[in-house]
């Protein structure tokens, strides 16, 4: 196979123009809402476009090979620029910040950024919920330092317990035992409650569903099953490789007693199911699992998340094809108030609902009908 390079910087990075502010610009106090009345609550910040895994559903080796061109260091937002942007988002209603990648623990001195973000507070004086998503490969050695810096929780991506399956999926021959050690280290450091995300790909790892559920049952760790998503243009997504969440819960309930739970907060992406005790009641000590039905059950109507890329592009949807250039504001001679107003204007004009529209199309329809332009890669803006 010949080497291919997808020029993320050149193609995605023809930015959209920041929409003009509303007739009455946003002012502190009223809840900021988009065009579909969705508030801004979560901000996901990608701190690197690099990863040490080559999972086929995210960064397949045939694309992200040694010849692949990553963003130069000078293009990345500095920690100070990220913190400044975060401050504006918090002023507009953000209460939770998740650091992502690529693999965020590859970003040197990430603890410094976490310490800076931990100093921010909501307009009401509350501390932010600061979390991080990681593949767990470096977690064992970094967990305590992350906690000491102010990180509160981690989510670990783990697609199976069988070592052969896991090595095949990460495609760099990384052993599953090292990720499990990272999870244990995070528990000892108090980075919880911990969540573990398992992407389920039909024909690849569905046999790991029950072993994963049994392993994490009663540990205080919430296991979440995620449908294989059509993110980006490089993961070779096909609908026949999606194992719907409805089938995942059937597999689980064939051997484990589970019952649905109510959502814990607005905009939650995972449907919650709790383990039942012998009396048929949910037992908090046994814990719960989550089902993220990103393909078969759109949750666009409650989506309250924005995504900031490694180089300062603001994306309003995981399936977006273009972002808004905030680095222009962060590196220009502009006051924070102008940056905040720009973000507010972008959010007020937001109408994104890709998954909802896709679910309304006939099964035979081409996804390209929803937008045409190639969607941004997950490794560029995080999941």
* pLDDT tens, position by position, 121-135: 999 999 999 999 999
Does 8 have pLDDT greater than 60?
no
The structure tokens listed for 202 are 């039909």
Residues 271-297: what's their mean pLDDT?
Answer: 93
Indicate whether 57 belongs to any domain. Answer: yes
Distance separating the N- and C-terminal Cα atoms of the chain: 28
Indicate whether 14 belongs to any domain. Answer: no
- DSSP codes, 14-56: SPBPPPPPPSS---SSSPPB-TTS-B--EEEEE--S--S---T
Indicate whether 25 belongs to any domain. Answer: no
Residue ranges with strand state E in the chain: 42-46, 96-100, 129-134, 153-157, 195-200, 222-227, 258-260, 271-275, 288-292, 305-308, 313-315, 324-325
Indicate whether 346 belongs to any domain. Answer: yes
pTM comes to 0.89
Identify the pLDDT of residue 263. Answer: 85
Query: 306 phi and psi, to 5 degrees?
Result: -120, 155
At 115, is the secondary structure helix, strand, or coil? helix
Half-sphere exposure of 125 (CA within 13 A, CB side): 0
Indicate whether 18 belongs to any domain. Answer: no
Distance CA 289, CA 260 (A): 10
Residues 210-248 have pLDDT tens digits of 999 999 999 999 999 999 876 555 555 678 889 999 999
- Cis omega (within 30 of 0) for bond into 193: yes
Does 193 have pLDDT greater than 70?
yes
Residues 166-188 have pLDDT tens digits of 999 999 999 999 999 999 999 99
Indicate whether 242 belongs to any domain. Answer: yes
285-288 long-range contacts (CB < 8 A, ≥24 apart) are 285/218, 286/217, 286/218, 287/216, 287/217, 287/218, 287/219, 287/220, 287/221, 287/222, 288/222, 288/261
Hey, CA dihedral for 179, 181, 187, 190, is it positive or negative? negative
Does 18 have pLDDT greater than 90?
no
Write out the residue range of the structural domain in which residue 358 sits.
32-381
Indicate whether 134 belongs to any domain. Answer: yes
- What CATH number is attached to the domain comprising 165? 3.20.20.70
Residues 39-82 have pLDDT tens digits of 999 999 999 999 999 998 889 898 899 999 999 999 999 999 99
Which residues, listed in sequence order, are joined to residue 315 by a DSSP beta bridge? 307
The structure tokens listed for 283 are 């037992």
Calculate ∠ Cα 233-319-116, nearest 5°: 110
Does 298 have pLDDT greater than 90?
no
Residues 195-204 have pLDDT tens digits of 999 999 999 9
Query: 6 phi and psi, to 5 degrees?
Result: -100, 115
**Nearest residue to 85 (alpha-carbon basis) of 276, 351, 374, 330:** 330
Half-sphere exposure of 130 (CA within 13 A, CB side): 25
Identify the pLDDT of residue 264. Answer: 80
Does 312 have pLDDT greater than 50?
yes
Residue ranges with strand state E in 171-304: 195-200, 222-227, 258-260, 271-275, 288-292
Identify the pLDDT of residue 22. Answer: 60
CB-neighbour burial class of residue 296 (10 A; exposed 0-12, middle 13-18, buried 19+): middle
Calculate ∠ Cα 157-177-109, nearest 5°: 60
Domains: count for the chain? 1
Does 356 have pLDDT greater than 60?
yes
Identify the pLDDT of residue 240. Answer: 80
Distance CA 47, CA 357 (A): 30
Indicate whether 123 belongs to any domain. Answer: yes
**Number of C-beta neighbours around residue 153 at 10 A:** 19
Q: Torsion-angle region of residue 218: left (phi > 0), alpha (psi -120 to 50) or beta?
A: left
**Nearest residue to 90 (alpha-carbon basis) of 33, 43, 49, 46:** 43
Identify the pLDDT of residue 369. Answer: 41
């Amino acid at each position: 196979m010949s080497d291919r390079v997808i020029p993320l910087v050149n193609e995605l990075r023809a930015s959209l123009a920041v929409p003009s502010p509303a007739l009455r610009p946003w002012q502190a106090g009223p809840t900021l809402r988009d065009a579909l009345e969705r508030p801004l609550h979560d901000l996901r910040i990608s701190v690197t476009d690099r990863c040490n895994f080559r999972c086929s559903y995210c960064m397949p080796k045939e694309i992200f090979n040694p010849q692949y061109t990553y963003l130069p260091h000078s293009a990345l937002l500095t920690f100070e620029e990220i913190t400044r942007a975060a401050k504006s988002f918090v002023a507009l209603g953000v209460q939770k910040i998740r650091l992502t990648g690529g693999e965020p623990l590859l970003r040197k001195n990430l603890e410094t950024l976490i310490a800076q973000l931990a100093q921010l507070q909501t307009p009401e004086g509350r501390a932010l919920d600061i979390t991080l998503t990681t593949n767990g490969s470096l977690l064992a050695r970094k967990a305590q330092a992350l906690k000491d810096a102010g990180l509160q929780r981690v989510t670990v991506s783990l697609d199976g317990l069988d070592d052969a399956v896991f090595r095949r999926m990460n495609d760099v021959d990384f052993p599953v035992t090292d990720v499990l050690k990272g999870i244990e280290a995070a528990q000892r450091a108090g980075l919880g409650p911990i969540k573990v995300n398992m992407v389920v790909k039909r024909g690849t790892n569905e046999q790991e569903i029950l072993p994963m559920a049994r392993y994490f049952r009663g540990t205080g760790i919430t296991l979440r099953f995620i449908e294989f998503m059509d993110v980006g243009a490089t993961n070779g997504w096909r609908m026949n490789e999606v194992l719907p969440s409805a089938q995942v819960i059937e597999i689980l309930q064939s051997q484990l007693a589970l019952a649905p739970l109510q959502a814990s907060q607005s905009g939650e992406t995972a449907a919650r199911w709790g383990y039942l005790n012998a009396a048929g009641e949910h037992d908090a000590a046994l814990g719960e699992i989550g089902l993220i039905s990103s393909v078969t059950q759109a949750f666009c109507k409650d989506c309250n998340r924005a995504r900031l890329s490694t180089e300062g592009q603001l994306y309003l949807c995981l399936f977006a094809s273009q972002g808004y250039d905030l680095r222009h504001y962060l590196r220009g001679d502009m006051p924070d108030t102008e940056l905040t107003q720009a973000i507010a204007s972008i959010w007020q004009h937001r109408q994104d609902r890709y998954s909802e529209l896709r679910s309304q199309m006939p099964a035979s329809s081409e996804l390209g009908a929803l937008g045409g332009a190639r969607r941004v890669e997950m490794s560029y803006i995080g999941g």
